[in-house]
A and B are shown apart, each in its own frame.
Chain A
Amino acid sequence: MGEFKVHRVRFFNYVPPGIRCVAYNNQSNRLAVSRTDGTVEIYNLSANYFQEKFFPGHESRATEALCWAEGQRLFSAGLNGEILEYDLQALNIKYAMDAFGGPIWSMIASPSGSQLLVGCEDGSVKLFQITPDKIQFERNFDPQKSRVLSLSWHPSGTHIAAGSIDYISVFDVKSGSAIHKMIVDRQYMGVSKRKCIVWGVAFLSDGTVISVDSAGKVQFWDSATGTLVKSHLIANADVQSIAVADQEDSFVVGTAEGTVFHFQLVSVTSNSTEKQWVRTKPFQHHTHDVRTVAHSPTALISGGTDTHLVIRPLMEKVEVKNYDAALRKITFPHRRLISCSRKRQLLLFQFAHHLELWRLGSTAATGKNGDILPLSKNADHLLHLKTKGPENIICSSISPCGSWIAYSTASRVFLYRLNYEHDNISLQRISKMPAFLRSALQILFSEDSTKLFVASNQGSLHIIRLLEGSFKHLHTFQPQSGTVEAMCLLAVSPDGNWLAASGTSAGVHVYNVKHLKLHCTVPAYNFPVTALAIAPNTNNLVIAHSDQQVFEYSIPDKQYTEWSRNVQKQGFHHLWLQRDTPITHISFHPKRPMHILLHDAYMFCIIDKSLPLPNDKTVLYNPLPPTNESDVFRRRTGHAFKISKIYKPLLFMDLLDEGTLVAVERPLDDIIAQLPPPIKKKKFGT
């Protein structure tokens, strides 16, 4: 099949930011996740948990609360005191509005979804009316003495519960006055702590208020009388988050020790109607604080400082025991953070606020499978490019020739020219970017590095011709009339004639660059596109979707290729369909037109279209080399999927030249080593 020299790169020092909030939307089955750097990601739980959208972070915008409102509108609020609404179509921030209450600690939408309630540092609870295009301040509730850290709305919308430091207040929404103040016990394991912070509250329809606090307690209060009903001490550290199921028959809490506890309302005896809350299942999927939890109808979702998003299906709620019933742990973004220059063997790494350029090393030695070759030259760190301003980088790219670097933040696109003189490189910024180039979701250079393609968040695609030290705007493909959907993925054909662009939901558009017009649209598919590429010579467009389907579409013929039809007819191997990370990159072998190279986080695969497809009875992945002649024969007549699972977690893999691959790994241990230390727990025998 082929022997490759693989540059195994582990110096991409990427650490995902910790998760601060998750918000689950039942109608669209989507999950919004906000991270400590202000990034907000949208996961589509129906589309194999694919991270289909993201909003870049901002240094001053620490998100503290995230919620969905009516009409699937997403709001966030943070310590800068602003309430933000996100535009899920154009993928930008619609507006930011100051609540004038100091840092905002909590926010929640009313049960009807038409009102927003925020809890502020100065102890105020503010009610906002959601209008079709904005939000409007309505009134303040009775001010409290200390910051309002958590809020919960009674399902009928008549009352709210607000958790502050040392107490919980219950407000009447109509009058805005506090009707009960429930003091939380500061005692913790017999020792009086300085303060008891109510990290989360939940108001149930029967009037019960559940609170979680920094003393490790989960407490049940009767809101009608303002009395404590029951108290569970579940942790030696803070209990930081709570989420209740819509049916109110189960809820989940997350602790600073990394444990998630499931509580369920169960009958006291097998056939009695009397029910009580029972702590049923503990889950320890996190090593650090679980800052936030969510409860979807079928799963518990948790996230925290250790950067993993964990989706734990509830087995009793899952009807079909298929692969969806498996635990999901999402750590890495489902988009590319790395680009490479094949010609100069350069790697460009994208971080939140800087870019790193590395040159790969080389070796003169050869070896057999599995050998580590002695390096004649080690990898070099060439450049460290810091961004200006507080905004995070959205996307970046290095041209195949290695002499251009482009990146974009939420407000500007930057373009740099690199000059190589022997071992020295000089960097020259191309100033005066055109005004329309404000923000890009994806940037791509053509194969010959003469053109730059920019997908802006307004749905338009810009083509820019690059000259020595300057540029010229060639054309802009405007979005189809009536749509504002942003394009997130771009692919250009090696001959430079075709440009494919895909948004988050609609089909893939193919543009003719020579004639500057839309050539065709690939029929829309139910699942979002995760990777795109156009093959050399044949100009076949290969599309990978989040349900692990791969299509091949002939651009000149405007139809799916014969091979793709065959694959659809026969279907993929069941193990292929059960992989739980999306394909994030597709490339081709210049000399072997039948090969498609693709990878996800846990495997790298070469599809040889000339070989028969595997059926469910054949072994999909066989890491062992063939041992004898007949075996070689059997293997050669084997199937089309050649898989390697040596490199993982794999963030990027590409072909540098005919016999050389580059693989960028990010071992989880290295990420954990860079996280703050977790709460020390006494283990038996230590």
Chain B
Amino acid sequence: MAALGEEFTLSAEALFAGPDGLLGVEPSDKTDHFLVTDRSRTVVLYKVSDQKPLGSWSVKQGQIITCPAVCNYQTGEHIVVHDNKVLRIWNNEDVNLDKVFKATLSAEVHKIHSIQGTEPLVLFEGGAVRGLEALLAEPQQKIEKVICDGEVIKWTKFFVVFRHPVLVFITEKDGNHYAYVQMFNSRNLSKYSLLLGQEEKSVTLNFTAYVDRKFISLMSLSSDGCIYETLIPIYPGDTEKNQRLVRSLLLKAVVSGITRNGVTLTALDQDHVAVLGPPLPSSKECLSIWNIKFQTLQTSKELPQGTSGQLWFYGENLFMLHGKCLTVVPYKCGSSSLAGALGKLKHTQDTGTQTMPHFVNWEMSQGCGLGSPNSEQPRILRRKKTEISLQPEVPASEQLLSTIKSGSEKHIEVELRKFLAKWTPDFHTAIGDILTGLLGRCKAEPSFYPQNCLMQLIQTHVLSYSLCPGLMDTALEKTDVQMLQLCLQQFPDIPESVTCACLKTFLSNTEQDEKMEEQSEILRNGFNAEKNYSNHNRDLSKKPQDSTEETSSCPVIPKRAALLRNAILHSAYSETFLLPHLKDLPAQDITLFLQYLYFLYLKCSENATMTLPGIHPPTLSQIMDWICLLLDANFTVVLMIPEAKRLLINLYKFVKSQISVYSELNKIEVSFREIQKLNQEKNNTGLYSIEVLELF
């Protein structure tokens, strides 16, 4: 639950807050220290918890600070710009701003951005961006103009995304807004025009943004009182200039619709946004925290003395100008948990001790500490661990590992066979290490692919997908169908995306088939039957059966059919995760797969027991599940494919006929149920009976 704490003010005598409020509040290099820049000449460094200023600096009379002071985290110095072009850099010890380092630039600065861990960036009014170091090396360098004439920068924000600095700024020209995303490392500038959607009348008042994985979520507050969201991709898909982005409505009527200056918003985290403004036209201004995920108002605070319409949020504090005073409102968003609400969450986290599980823990036995418990992708964690554990203590596996690093394929195979012959207590871990070693070398040397070794390792039955995540990827890369099939059969925990990738490989590649024909040695078990069977099908299909003729022959050649049948259809999956991946299948593959499933369905329904021959035949329900899934995922696509039309019609006809058969069966079943009821009634005697009881 988000909550606002008790507000407090920072002593304001040193500040001159004009009608437009302050120039800016920026964090300093020490926690709890903030630089406040006012509209005229003064920069004040505050320690918020003490509510008092630590230092104050002013520029000379006649000069005006034009850009809020920031802290250079790399040096601990403060930077400010006055009179648009003059850069001042000073330390806490400096007293007079006139005597500190000064650099006059060739263009007007819009704003300086500084974030912990990166070099400060200077954004010029023309849209150009420079690193501070580069700029100071040659202050008078030529600054190009990026944005068009008449465009004015309205709002800027600086992010660090995956350790890459990204600067976003919004410009306005003739009522239209444009978003620029500047990737500082790649020097890549993308421009987007922001479209309003249907509500043409509204004027966008304010912006805020946060990074949501691959997107910057830009939220804008409109004059109609609603918050809109625009997703800006961080990594542009194509370099086409001037892409358009449409905003979508996120929250309705958070502030009253009157266009007023004192309205602003700030994103607090992914789910929460703070809005400053009057909730009703007549009411006083309010600071409200909204949960955008659930669209609920979490908390609000009335600000009767009015604000300047500015709101800054750093760490746990919200800063605003309330009346004439700079006010700090602590904000806290504890994680609310259902378990907590139900009273079942007993352990408290502050004890810091982790109880040891009673069963043997894989990860513990490898001697690796746990990462943060909230990691979203445990698989990645696991992968890291296996990489770390490449230096095991066991000499045999260590020896083998060193062989893997340099030895020839043959040599490795011999060594591996020796190793597998004897069983060691940490067999599992050793196998994992060896496999990781092999895969590592595969990656390093594209020509190196010890298929036999890998197969042998898989057949030890101790591996799972999560133990060697790279294995199937490598096999997919090499389109090693045999290996994939073996993996599908052996691994219990293959993610749906990989299952789908396998399916794609099986369906799309044709040259593999010939190769497989040669290597039928390993695949033999159970598939000969299939071969005969499909020959038999072909015989059947030769009979005049007009409509079903096309589909009753197996659409895929027997080997591949076997693969599909035995591996994919049997694999474990969860519908929700599989569906999105199925959608990615190309249309041609969908048709082929659907054809094949239809074929299986027909074959299955032909005999009374509804089973297919062979060693591991898919069951009817598995076939039905896959048909449903495939149609679910791609129905619109399938409808569009002309080749699939016939197939769909046939499938529909067949399903219809099946349904009529089953409804008849249903009738019979009802009659039989009556018989059972009769039997029950015999037991359920009336009010009085004499029965025989024998006790044994």
Contact = CB atoms under 8 A, between A and B. Distances in A.
B335, B340, B686, B688 interface centre (most CB from chain A within 10 Å): B688
Contact of B690 (A372, A642, A646): A372
Interface in B664-693: 682, 685-693
B206 to A, nearest CB: 32
Contact of B696 (A269, A278, A622, A661): A622
B339, B347, B695 interface centre (most CB from chain A within 10 Å): B695
B694 interface: yes
B345 interface: yes
Contact of B692 (A5, A11, A267): A5
A82 to B, nearest CB: 40
B337, B348, B691 interface centre (most CB from chain A within 10 Å): B691
Contact of A278 (B342, B686, B687, B695): B342
Interface size class of B (residues with CB under 8 A): 20 to 34
A625 B340 contact: no
A269, A363, A366 interface centre (most CB from chain B within 10 Å): A269
Interface string A364-395: 00111111110100110000000000000000
Given A1-B696, A271-B350, A372-B685, A6 B343 contact: no
B164 to A, nearest CB: 35
A9 B688 contact: yes
A523 interface: no
Nearest to B347: A270
Contact of A10 (B335, B348, B686, B690): B686
B695 A642 contact: yes
B694 A368 contact: yes
B342 A372 contact: no
Contact of B1 (A1, A9, A268, A375): A268
A112 interface: no
Contact of B694 (A270, A280, A369, A373): A369
Given A266-B341, A278-B343, A280-B343, A373 B692 contact: yes
Nearest to A250: B343
Interface in A237-274: 264, 266-272
A606 interface: yes
Contacts of A448: none
Interface string B322-356: 00000000000011110111110101111000000
A343 interface: no
Contacts of B694: 1-4, 368-369, 625
B340 A270 contact: yes
Contact of A369 (B339, B688, B693): B693
A6 B688 contact: no
Contact of B343 (A5, A264, A370, A625): A264
B343 A269 contact: no
Contacts of A3: 692-695
Contacts of B689: 8, 372-373, 375
Contact of B688 (A268, A272, A371, A378): A378
A625 to B, nearest CB: 6
B335 A373 contact: no
Contacts of B348: 270-271
Contact of B691 (A271, A371, A606): A371
A269 B337 contact: yes
Contacts of A378: 688
Contact of A370 (B339, B690, B691): B691
Contacts of B696: 1, 622, 625-626, 635, 642
A11 B682 CA distance: 18
Contacts of B349: 270-271
Interface residues of A, number: 45
Nearest to B349: A271
Contact of A270 (B345, B691, B692): B345
Contacts of A272: 334
A270 B339 contact: yes
Given A268-B1, A270-B345, A271-B350, A11 B688 contact: yes
Contact of B334 (A269, A367, A626): A269
Contacts of B335: 269
Given A266-B340, A266-B341, A278-B343, A6 B692 contact: yes
A41 B436 CA distance: 73
Contacts of B687: 9-11
A319 to B, nearest CB: 15
B686 A6 contact: no
Contacts of A590: none
A644 interface: yes
Given A267-B343, A268-B336, A272-B334, A370 B695 contact: no
A556 interface: no
Given A266-B342, A269-B337, A367 B686 contact: no
A361 interface: yes
A366 B691 CA distance: 9
A366 B685 CA distance: 18
B342, B345, B348, B693 interface centre (most CB from chain A within 10 Å): B693
A361 B688 contact: yes
B9 to A, nearest CB: 27
A616 to B, nearest CB: 21
A11 B691 CA distance: 16
A18 B690 CA distance: 32
Interface string A114-127: 00000000000000
Given A269-B336, A270-B349, A272-B334, A644 B693 contact: yes
B693 to A, nearest CB: 5
A378 B687 CA distance: 10
Contacts of A644: 693, 695
Contacts of B339: 270
Nearest to B345: A270
A73 interface: no
Given A268-B1, A278-B341, A606 B688 contact: no
A268 B695 contact: no
A366 B334 CA distance: 77
Contacts of B686: 10
Contacts of B347: 270
A363 B331 CA distance: 86
Given A266-B342, A270-B348, A7 B692 contact: no
Nearest to B351: A271
A661 B350 CA distance: 68
A8 B690 CA distance: 6
B342 A370 contact: no
Contact of A375 (B341, B350, B690, B695): B690
Contacts of B350: 271
Contact of A363 (B342, B343, B690, B695): B690
Nearest to B348: A271
A644 B694 CA distance: 9
A606 B696 CA distance: 10
Contacts of A271: 348-350
Contact of A368 (B337, B341, B345, B692): B692
Contact of A6 (B340, B682, B690): B690
Nearest to A626: B696
B692 A367 contact: yes
A498 to B, nearest CB: 29
Contacts of A646: 693
A272 B336 CA distance: 11
A606 B336 CA distance: 59
14 contacts: A4-B695, A5-B690, A10-B687, A11-B687, A266-B340, A266-B341, A266-B343, A268-B341, A269-B337, A278-B343, A280-B343, A361-B688, A370-B692, A373-B692
Given A10-B687, A266-B340, A361-B690, 7 more contacts: A1-B696, A7-B688, A264-B343, A269-B337, A270-B337, A373-B690, A375-B688
Interface of A: 1-11, 264, 266-272, 278, 280, 361-363, 366-373, 375, 378-379, 606, 622, 625-626, 635, 642-644, 646, 661
**What 7 pairs across the A-B complex have the smallest Cβ distances?**
A266-B343, A369-B694, A270-B345, A642-B695, A11-B687, A270-B340, A1-B695
